[in-house]
Amino acid sequence: MSAPKRKALGRGLAALIPGAPSPTSTAVAPALARARDVGGDGLRTVAIEDVFPSTAQPRKTFDDERLEELAASIRTQGIIQPLVVRVRAGGGYELIAGERRWRAAQKAGLHEVPAVIRDVAPAQAFEMALVENLQREDLNPIEEAAGYERLVAEFGYTQEKLADRVGKERSTVANSLRLLRLPESVRGLVAQGRLSMGHARALLGLESTAAMEKLARRTIAQDLSVRKVEELVRRDRAPGDGAAGAKPGATAPTANARDLGMRLSRALGTRVDVNEAAPGRGHIAIHYHSLDQLDALLDRIVAPR
């Protein structure tokens, strides 16, 4: 009877770094030994104690049980996919991608590991680490959002460029970044998986930190669905919104205001109220029913930079 097929450990280095070698089995070990002294970028074996984790690693949590499973696989099969590292200023190598494999290799008792050495700048190294984790779906939503924020804040990425580089829709990146507006306690619940991404996005519709924290606790205690949380958020906001988008006691809109509202509604694909406070003065209320719809509206209203 043939041995059961081992579960793949990832999408492969070639999916992350074009032009990188694609190892096929543990038989590459002799070749790695011969390549040990190759200079510049290349595949080689390095001492495991010469590899150091990056302080910029976007992933902060590692599941011990899954690490043990990977270590058991490495003991029998070796490391199929090399680590990706760069030369470290203080000596040795800094991990770009593969910290989970490196940790599991330590548990498995390996003294050397295969590695691809890349000559890249810190921004590119961080981007490569983020992309690998995203491809493997190893980041929780808060880690993912924090990674995006760092690329935007420290390295000058626009949301459009960031979405293109990580292979996501811009609205997906924008919605992820919004999670960082949640109170720290609620972000912790999302990171732990106790609240879903849908729950978190619904909670962002509330105005105050206290209200978000209160509804987050209620959501967990009562195991509320995303739809129920959205309903509760709408109910919380309703008293200030008014049933028809105007303040109580306001005069009926003029024919001109109604016409403008209808034209804007058709252009934006959602209800728009034009409320006149005085001749030539007033405000416009644009209605939306989800953060996805709001993001789409912003794309239509705000011209690309």
Which residues form the catalytic set?
Answer: 99
Name every residue whose Cβ is closer than 8 Å to that of residue 81 and which is 6 or more positions away in sequence: 9, 10, 12, 13, 23, 98, 101
Name every residue whose Cβ is closer than 8 Å to that of residue 272 and which is 6 or more positions away in sequence: 261, 264, 265, 284, 285, 286, 287
Q: Say how far apart CA 194 and CA 178 lie, in whole Å.
A: 18
Contact between 67 and 78 (Cβ < 8 Å): no
Nearest in space to 160 (alpha carbons), one of 174, 170, 175, 145: 170
Name every residue whose Cβ is closer than 8 Å to that of residue 31 and which is 6 or more positions away in sequence: 43
Q: In 3-state terms, what secondary structure has residue 281?
A: strand
In terms of DSSP bridges, do strands 42-47 and 93-97 run parallel, antiparallel, or are they unpaired?
unpaired
Nearest in space to 147 (alpha carbons), one of 180, 108, 190: 180
Contact between 52 and 94 (Cβ < 8 Å): yes
Distances (CA, A) of 293 to 61, 123, 212, 270, 288: 32, 32, 21, 9, 6
Q: How crowded is residue 271: how many other Cβ atoms within 10 Å of its Cβ? A: 16
In terms of DSSP bridges, do strands 93-97 and 272-278 run parallel, antiparallel, or are they unpaired?
unpaired
